[in-house]
Structure 1
Amino acid sequence: MNQSGTIGAGPERGHFRRFLGWWGRELRGLLPGLPWSGGGAAGNLLLILDDGPAPRLYRLRHGRGRLLGQLTDRPSRDAPLIRQARRGAPLVVLRLAAASGLKRRLDLPLSAEHELRQVVRYQLDSISPYPPEQVGFACRVAERDPGRGLLRVDVYLTPLQVLQQAVRRAEARGLTPDRVDFTDGDELQPPRFDLLGTARSPRRSLPQRLNRFLVWLCLLLGAGLVAAHLVRQADTESLLQARVESARARAEVARRLRDRVRRLELEAEVLATARRQRLPALAILDELSRTLPRDTWLEALDLADDRLILSGLSSRAANLISVIENSPRLEQAGFRAPVVQDARSGRERFQIGALVSGGGAQ
């Protein structure tokens, strides 16, 4: 009885495990960039080592690899090996040769981790020898340095055509990959990155398409309310921004007009000051030329506001004070420096200061 019960339960458990394996692969197909853990289903891996003319199949269990066999160019001959390899619904990893890809290291800000794949996509031009639209890539965090605020990321690159051809070859043999990478160090190590996100064939099975549709439908429904709220916020912000720009433009026009008025006022004041100074200066010079003695020579006349300074030579400099005081335009005349004898002319060198009276400035 015990033996018959064990025999009957075996196929049921096998069907159940195959169902769980299929469902897990479907979910991982929707999220190809999701990292795998070291335990659970990831402990049962089927590795297709496609690094030569004849791919080899390995069973990886808990870090150990066992060779199952080598594929040929005849699918009918490979069918028993493939059935044996697929027993237990393992996760299928397609591993390309090391020469099929490149590994690059990027230093990014810690904040880039939330949108790591998108940030790396923007960097492809600078790190990839292939055009961005012709390259498959994957990325993984190698190190976090909170002290320096840096995130060190390993980026794995391979030509998209090479990637897609390898996936199609595996699918043609009935081995649909759950993950694709290339050899980076030990060829039998567990997978650390996945290139399948950029190489997955556009042809999908019905369950895959249905799952993808349901996931996207949930995402769209979940984002609908947020999007509507953001649209309303954007409209309000645009309206406020337009008002701010209009007010800013009017303020700029007012500022320019104010600056222009101020500049014109300053120019008018300068012209008025120059005019006020020019007329008294000419009148005073005319009067001094008529009243000063003939033996007096003016060398300089400086008029600043209401202050006048006369410099020159005269036979009797002391007599000039009374002459200047008698002028209706000048008052408070006096020497600003000692009178000295000019050795060359024999006259007295003087410097006299005076104030221009109110009547003279009119």
Structure 2
Amino acid sequence: MNLDTTIEFDLKKFFHWWGGELAFLVPSGLRRRLRDRQGYLIISPSRQGYLLEFFDDDKLIAQKSIASADTAGYQQLKNQYPAIEKTEVVLRLASEHALQRVIFLPAAAQENLQQVVGFELDRYTPFKPEQVYFSAVVLGKTEQGQIRVLLIVVPKNFLDQQLAAMEALAVPPHRVDYQATVSEFPQIRDAYNLLPERYRQRGSRLNQSIHWLLSGILLLLTIAALVGPVWLEGRAVDSLKSRIKQLEKQTRLVEAQQREIDALRGETQKLIDIKDQSPALLGVLAELSSLLKDDTWLTHLQYSNKHLQIQGQSPAASALISLLEGSAFFSKVSFVSPLTQDKTTGRERFQISSDVSMPVTIAAESANTGDDANSNDQSNSEQSPPEAIPEAAAEVKGD
């Protein structure tokens, strides 16, 4: 592949092709109204006069031969087919009336092709530029980088005579082409016109304005069809990005709140676990009340970190050790100081220490109760400190 190859792009040909392709999308009735010309009338000179052929969309509608000055014959055909009034009239020269030749020129000559061919015309034909009408059409490029050019030449005298005869028939042509070119190179049928500039007719300004207006609208619609979806997708993406940012911000807030909730739940669970593992003060007092007889009373009670220390008087203080150790609440029961006799009451003064633990049966019942009312326990634990953890010493005094 040669990377230095120049890509030629003819914008006029592209729009001509594009318009022809898009014309199929327009209803045929509307297409007929918008066109300056409908169909075409081919007039071919012959020895007897002219052969008239009326085509509508490449379909032969009528065919008639008339004499050179037979205006009535042409008028009769036009009356029979009124659509001829809006056809494109083409004067088609026979093979003996003109000549064509394929020539090769440098690629640089393509920019001013007609002028270059006009200067070199006597090299390629037996005519001088002032003797003929000519047209040059690019057919393509060769492997050597040259351009293939089809040169079509018709003598001025002959074509001027034919055009004068056409004026006498009141049938001014819109285009002049060559039969041999139409047969050999049908793809360039509309790419050239041998009709001199001074004979060429201008189309209706209104139709041309409508044509360009519709072409502009069609171009804008095409751009909108191509760009519109991309623009809408871009807006949708921007909207989604904005929504995602909002959701990310809300998500971060929710996650922070969830972390706080988890932390509070963990702390609450710790308190619940401590409560479940520690016997309640009321339970300890109730157990002491049930164990001690009425002749025994307490003057001091200190309870902290699952350790109990009591002071009091009893008729038989030594029996209290075995009595307390028989309870599931107390363990490691011992006297803190020797027993002494109170002279006033005659009872023994005692000071006993003991470890306190929650009995297994009571702990199981407490756990079941806690599972049934977990939400209430959590809410209560947030509002007030648990009753099961008294840090200060409690004192019970009696008379």
User: TM-score category by the smaller chain?
Assistant: 0.3 to 0.5
Normalised by the size of structure 2, how large is the TM-score?
A: 0.38
Structure with max Cα Rg = 2
Normalised by the size of structure 1, how large is the TM-score?
A: 0.41
